[in-house]
Amino acid sequence: MLPVIILAGGFGTRLQSVVDDRPKVLAEVAGKPFLEHLLARMAVEGVQDVVLSTGYLGEQVKAFVGALGLAGMNVQCVREPEPMGTGGALAFAAREAGISGPFVGMNGDTFFGGLISELIEAHHAAQSPKATIALARVESADRYGRVLFDEGGGDGPVQVTGFVEKGQDMPANGSIWINAGVYVLSQSALADAPEGERVSLERAIFPRLVEEGSLWAHRFPDAPFLDIGTPDDYARAAQMLA
């Protein structure tokens, strides 16, 4: 199993009204910090190495992991010296943790029920991929942007052809494929991320890979997906993960 880097450095600005004393990944959901749900999900799949890319109140995350004591899983924290964006944070964490090969990147404020192992298999099956995105299907098209892809791939990996901002050019039935916040990334995908600079994975790196034809995706039509980015979704997460 590939190592997993979880982005755990977000400020959680939109959650300040309900969670104002801890980083977003430690917001309590169904009786446990959200990060504990994510790590439990990793343990089920046999993930052995996890790197937490921390930032805001990162000392709380480090203390929580130290007290949790996950058997069979090595979890280390790498703290950003300053906010570096999703791409910059992943590149920095990989360097600091000594990861020299491909790895799985994951947003720390979303829960995705698809199998990481299946996403890794899809990455290996794609043609010269630099990155492969997990896609979830959702009905609420007003909250998320769409991922466009070549639909000729059957049930296997599909080549990503572009992205549509949320609220724009929505299909009539309202069902869309979205970026589920879980990726397999090769080192070459992040090779152009300037060291120490802020870089967005979604707005800078992925569009470049689309132009190259090296960005792929795998669809998970029945996998549950949620984020805890807003108070409403935070409440939904408690119901789903109870």
Which domain, by its residues, includes 160? 4-241
Do 111 and 224 contact (CB within 8 A), yes or no?
yes
- Chain position carrying tokens 């010269």: 128
**What is the CATH number for 103?**
3.90.550.10
Count up the domains in the chain and report the number: 1
Cα distance between residue 93 and residue 81, in whole Å: 11
Q: Is the dihedral of CA 161, 222, 171, 241 positive or negative?
A: negative
Per-residue pLDDT of the chain (242 residues; tens, 9 = 90+): 999 999 998 765 655 556 667 888 898 888 899 999 999 999 999 999 999 999 888 899 999 998 887 778 999 999 999 999 999 999 999 999 999 999 999 999 899 999 999 999 999 999 999 999 999 998 866 778 899 999 876 788 999 999 998 766 666 566 889 999 999 999 999 987 878 789 999 999 999 999 999 999 999 999 999 888 777 777 888 888 87
25: left (phi over 0), alpha (psi -120 to 50) or beta: alpha
Task: Write out the two tokens for 174.
Answer: 């309202």
